[in-house]
Every structure is written in C-alpha cells, then in structure tokens.
Chain A
Amino acid sequence: MASFETTMEAGTAMNETVKDAAASAAAVMPVGHETKISATKVSVFYGEKQALFDVSIDIPARQVMAFIGPSGCGKSTFLRCINRMNDTIDICRVTGTIAIDGADIYDPKIDPVLLRARVGMVFQKPNPFPKSIYDNIAYGPRIHGVAKAGSQMDEIVETSLRRAGLWNEVKDRLREPGTGLSGGQQQRLCIARAIAVNPDVILMDEPCSALDPIATAKVEELIDELRERYTIVIVTHSMQQAARVSQKAAFFHLGNLIEVDETERMFTNPRDQRTQDYITGRFG
C-alpha cells in the first residue's frame, strides 16, 4: 500500500489514479483489516473548555466506521480532527496524535491543505458552491492542479458523478447550478465533489440529517458502495443508520470514547451500561 506521505507528494499524478486506484489498491490489500487511521490520546479544547478527553481509536481501512452518541458528546469534534478542520477555528486546540497510514497528521511538516485533499469531508447540510454542477466537481481537481479543463477534467467529473450515483440524473444539465438540485442530489453532489480529488478517507458528518427517507436510502446505498474504495467515517444520530451502513461503531459520551466494536456486536451485546442505555433509547 502506498504510504500516506507518498500519495500526498504525488499530487500532480493524482488524476491517473482516479480510475484505477481502487482496482490496484484492492488487488494489493485484503478488504478492511489493517488500520488506516490511528488516534492516540486525542484531546480537544475550545478555549478553556475541554471537549474531548484522551480518545484513542483505530479505524480500519475500507470499512465504514460509525460514530454514535448523544448530541454534544464530541463525535463531530473528533471527526473534524481527522482532516484538521478544527484548525479553521481560532480557539480550538488539539493534543495527542492522529496517524494516517502511520504518519502523524499533526506533524508540523504536514500541510493541512494537502491533508484535506486526502481526507475528504461531507457535511450535515449539503453545501454545493453556487457554481455549475460541473464546476462543483471540477473545483478540487482544479485547485490541486490534477487536471486542466478539457477531456481529462470531463473524465474526472463523469467518474466522480458515476461513483456518487448521480451521473444519470444530471448528465444532461452539467452546466446548471448545483444549488438547483434537490437536497438528496445536492448531498450526493457534495460526495462526488469529495471523491473527485481522489481521497483515501471520506468523513461524513451526519450526511443524511437534512434529507428525506428516500434520499437518505440512496445516500446510504452509496456509502455502502464507496466502502470498496474508501475508508469512511460517519457521524450519525440514527441508530438504524449506523446499523445499516457501518461495520464498526464507536460510542462517545460526554467527550469520552466509551466503546468501540463491530457494529453488530455493539448493537446486540454492548459491553458498557451507558452504551446499552443509549442504543435502547434510554437517553440521548
């Protein structure tokens, strides 16, 4: 497996890997056993207030890991540590280490801008740019110099939209604004936008909470397909969703990581009382 750092340096060659990255990677690796992301004693402070306490967790490659827990438990905060989005908040401070493919992403040598090209993110509310569908997808590849306009870019746009299951719905109106799509389509557009820069990891922060059940089902189906190629971490409030899409689950409570396990086992046989209370709906 290509190390995290080499893929980052290979920025300009990224486009070539768009199509066959998954194929070659899948050939090298058995599905979802080694650790992709490894966090050790991660704590997060907002000013004086500590929001996350010594979280250590290993996230396996090419699986879906669900973060569950009541509101304000720190699961989104932890998610935003993985692509250093917390850096954009002035008062936020992170301690501990998070390693992706063995390289610490909080190492001063790591450029958070390049890191975010390798760790994509999808947000709670669909946030397409007020640009055309095409330009929304092309934005990432363009800023990273992956492809100039032309057939190469057309190919990336098509591949990304196909992977996001949106191609057939939008192929005839690529020049129309992305904001004109329905909520579910917008969210899949945002997923396609994240895929277009060919990340290793996709973080999803409650990606379905603003969607109706039908759009939610489509996005969940998509998440299940994407796990062949990408490591996915999803924050969700819906226990059913966690059960449907994830292979592993982590339960957060009051800024602490309480329990990590196979999703099935956690939902049938939780080890911690608080986990049991939460998944049976006693609080949260």
Chain B
Amino acid sequence: MSATSLLAIVLILSLIGYLWGRASAASLKSTGQGMHSIPAYHGYFIALSCGIPAFLLVLVWLAAQSTVIDTLLIAGLPAHITDGVETSRMSLILSEIKSIAGGRIFGTPDPALIAAAERYNALRGTASLAMVVAALAVAIAAMSFARSRVSPEFRARNRVDGILRWILIVCSILAILTTLGIILSLVIESMAFFSRVSVFDFLFGMEWSPQIAMRADQVGSSGAFGAVPVFWGTIFISAIAMFVALPVGLFSAIYLVEYADKRVRSFVKPLLEILAGIPTIVYGFFAILTVAPFIRDLGTSMGLSVASNSALAAGGVMGIMLIPFISSFADDAISAVPQSMRDGAYALGATKAETVRQVLLPAALPGIVGGVLLAVSRAIGETMIVVMAAGLMAKLTANPLEGVTTVTVQIVTLLIGDTEFDSPKTLAAFGLGLVLFITTLALNIVALQVVKRYRERYE
C-alpha cells in the first residue's frame, strides 16, 4: 500500500473519529448533563488526536526508511564486495542493487548483488507493511484513548485550541527553518568558493572572466574573479531603473491622490497595477524586441554607437516594471498624511502644488523612502529582464549605451550548461549570490525600519 493511500485512510479514520466523538458527546448531552464543550469540539479533539500522531509517524517513517534499509543492505553484503570500499563507491553499489531490484539489469551482475536485490525488495515490502500496521495501530489506539476522555467535564474546546496553536507554531517554524536552510546552503557553497579565490580579490578585483581554460592555448579564459565590474553593472542598471521609476511613480501617485477625481482614480489605479502583474519575462521580450532596437536606431540616427544590449534598454524597462511598485507605496504614504495637514496648508493660502511639495511630501517622505528602498532591492535582484536584455560582458563603463552585465545575469550564465560543482567557475555563482543576498537583505531591513517608524507617526 502506498503512503498516499495510507494517509487517505488515516484521514478517513479521523473523520470517523470526529463523527464518533460528536455523536458520543451529543448522546451525553441529551441525557441532560451540562457539557463543558459543545459536541463538535469533542469530535475535533478525537479527529486531531487520531490523525496527527499517525500522520507524523508516516512522515518520520518515510524519512528514515531508506537510510535504515540501506544500512541493513550493506550490513548483509558479503565481505568481498564491501571490503575497503569508500563511501562514493558504496553509493554506486547501492544504486546498482536498487536498479537490479527494479528489474533493470545491465550485463551480468555479481550473484551477491542479485541476492542483495532480492533482500532489498523483501525489506521494502516488510517495511511498507510495517508502516501501514504501525500507522493504523497508532491511529486507532489514539482514537479510542481520545474517545475514552469524552465526558461532561472534559475541556475539549481548550484542548483543540491548544493543538491548533501548536500546528500554527510548527508551520511558522517550518518557514523560518527553510529560510535558514537556504542561507546555509548559500554560505557553505560560498565558503568553498572563497577557499579557492580570496575574498579580497573577489570583492575588489577589477577583472571578471570566469571561464577557466580547458586547453593551454585557449583565448580569453584567464579565470579572473574580480567582481567589481559585475557589481557595477547591477548598480548602474538599477540606477537607470530608479531614474525612470522614481519620478514617474512618484508623480503618478501625487496625481492620483491629490489631483485626480474619484472616477479617474478608480480607472487609472487598477490600470497601473496591471503593470505590476506582468511577468518579468514579458518585460524582457519588450526590452529586447522593442526598446533595445528603438534605442539603437535612435542612437545610430544621431551618430552614436549603441550596443544592442545596452544598459539603457535593460534599465529603462526595469524602471517601467518598478513604476507601480513605487507608485503604490507613495500613494499609501501620501494618503496616510492626515487631511488636517492639507486643511492647515490650504487655510494659509497655499496652492495645491505648494501643499504637496512643502507639507505632504515631507510628511510622507519616510514612507516613500521605504518604498524606494524596497524597489531598489527588487531592481538589484531582478533577473529575467537583464538576462534577456543586458549584456554578458563585464565592463566598467558609465556609458548607458554600452552593454554591461549584472550579478544576476552572471549567476544564471555560470550555472547554465555543463557544470561541475567543484570548479571556481560555478562556485563563483554562490559568491555572487551571497553578496546579492546580503545587499538586498540589508536594504529590506533598512526599508522596513523606515516604513515602521513612519507608521508609528500618525497612529
């Protein structure tokens, strides 16, 4: 029986437990006893006490099963196979046994391995049967124990609340643990990289050329890991993006909050939010098929040489992507300035523009700054647009018409294609990823602090 059908059975048992508990509590109640909890809670209590232990048991069992079986298999192998074999070779032997067990036999395997494969199948059969028996036993035992507690005094409602609280706690811990795991894997791989390339060379080196020569005569493959040009590319493209997004987003927010009447606002605001819903890869198409050729043609007609992957095209389109982001943050911040501030300014004879510039914007500034910082951190982490529209060459240039590359683009290209995970080339991706992560994390923390301080102000 598969784990899925087993879990389905446990679910059905829980349902039965619920109905049973509710029915017994209801019959107790009908005898006229004052129940602490309504019957449904007795039902929930039995369902949860029946389902959760069985579910956890199945999870743990599945997690542990393969390790236990592998250990048993290795222990049972004859000495001429296991003697002096290192771990990596042992895992090859194990996978050979498993493929034999699955009926995929190549060549003529050692008879000892065939025997082991049979044993493997037997072990698996036993294990899965044992799991079913154990899970059902736990479920039924827990159900009858929980049923025995149904009584007028039993505080089923409080117990169910307590169990639910634990479920919530476990879920939030899971999310945190996953994050920690991601950070840890990033850090560990980065450590491997920094053991080959010094941190100093990486952070301050001026030349980026991650290809390592496979042949001695190969050109342009020195394997230099100075990331400054890559960082510069990210900063440059993000700056261009903010240059587009900040004024357009801010001004549209001011228009929507202070000038537009209700009908215009109810029409324009959703339109603007559609921009936020466009997948970034579609922005990438737009950048590479529409904006980049347009900029190139325009530049050529003015006698400028424009790279087909210009920083301007990638940054400009990224800026368009960020407009709704900034606009909605600025919108919230300006709307949150109390009406009394506007009244105060108007009553002194301020015009609308003066009120916006001298009273509303300063009062809304912390919120706007928070939104801008979050937008910057998105620009830095944005991948798809730059992969499609920015260049691959790491170049230290301040000319927006030339192509630059970004951290995210480099990570993608380093990890695409034939990769071995112990060469500095692929490990460099983790080094870049770590820097990116630290930067955006710092920006987010600062931004959230700023936004928080601002929120406390008017509440």
Contacts and interface: CB of A to CB of B under 8 A. Distances in A.
A143 B354 contact: yes
Contact of B349 (A90, A114, A128, A131): A114
Interface string B355-379: 0001100110000000000000000
Interface stretch (B190-198, B299-307, B337-345, B422-430): B337-345
Interface string A209-242: 0000000000000000000000000000000000
Q: Which one of B261, B347, B351 has the highest number of Cβ atoms from chain A below 10 Å of its Cβ? A: B347
A117 interface: yes
A129 B346 contact: no
Interface in A89-120: 90, 113-118, 120
A37 interface: no
Nearest to B363: A130
A129 B261 CA distance: 25
A181 B359 CA distance: 19
A117 B349 contact: yes
B23 interface: no
B350 interface: yes
Contacts of B351: 113, 143
Q: Which one of A85, A118, A130, A131 has the highest number of Cβ atoms from chain B below 10 Å of its Cβ? A: A130
A144 B347 CA distance: 13
B348 interface: yes
B344 A190 contact: yes
Interface in B181-235: none
A194 B350 contact: no
Chain B contact residues (Cβ within 8 angstroms of A): what range?
20 to 34
Contact of B340 (A90, A114, A118, A127): A127
A253 B277 CA distance: 53
Interface string B323-346: 000000000000000101111111
A168 interface: no
A164 B5 CA distance: 81
Contacts of B362: 129-131
Contacts of B363: 129-130
B346 A139 contact: no
Interface in A57-91: 83, 85, 88, 90
A113 B340 CA distance: 17
B344 A123 contact: yes
Contact of B342 (A88, A114, A121, A197): A88
B261 A85 contact: no
A90 B344 contact: no
Contacts of A115: 349
A102 B114 CA distance: 112
Given A113-B351, A130-B363, A143-B354, A85 B340 contact: no
Given A129-B359, A129-B363, A130-B363, A143 B341 contact: no
B340 A116 contact: no
A140 B343 CA distance: 13
A248 interface: no
A8 to B, nearest CB: 10
Contact of A127 (B344, B358, B457): B344
A241 B259 CA distance: 39
A123 B349 contact: no
A85 B339 CA distance: 12
B350 A113 contact: yes
B347 A143 contact: no
Interface string B425-459: 00000000000000000000000000000000100
Considering the complex of A and B, which 7 residue pairs feature the smallest CB-CB distances, nearest first? A117-B349, A127-B340, A121-B347, A116-B349, A140-B348, A127-B344, A130-B363
Given A143-B350, A197-B349, 8 more contacts: A88-B343, A113-B349, A120-B347, A123-B340, A129-B344, A143-B351, A193-B344, A197-B348
21 contacts: A85-B343, A88-B342, A88-B343, A88-B346, A115-B349, A116-B346, A116-B349, A117-B349, A118-B349, A120-B348, A123-B340, A125-B340, A128-B344, A129-B363, A130-B362, A139-B350, A139-B358, A140-B348, A190-B344, A193-B344, A197-B348
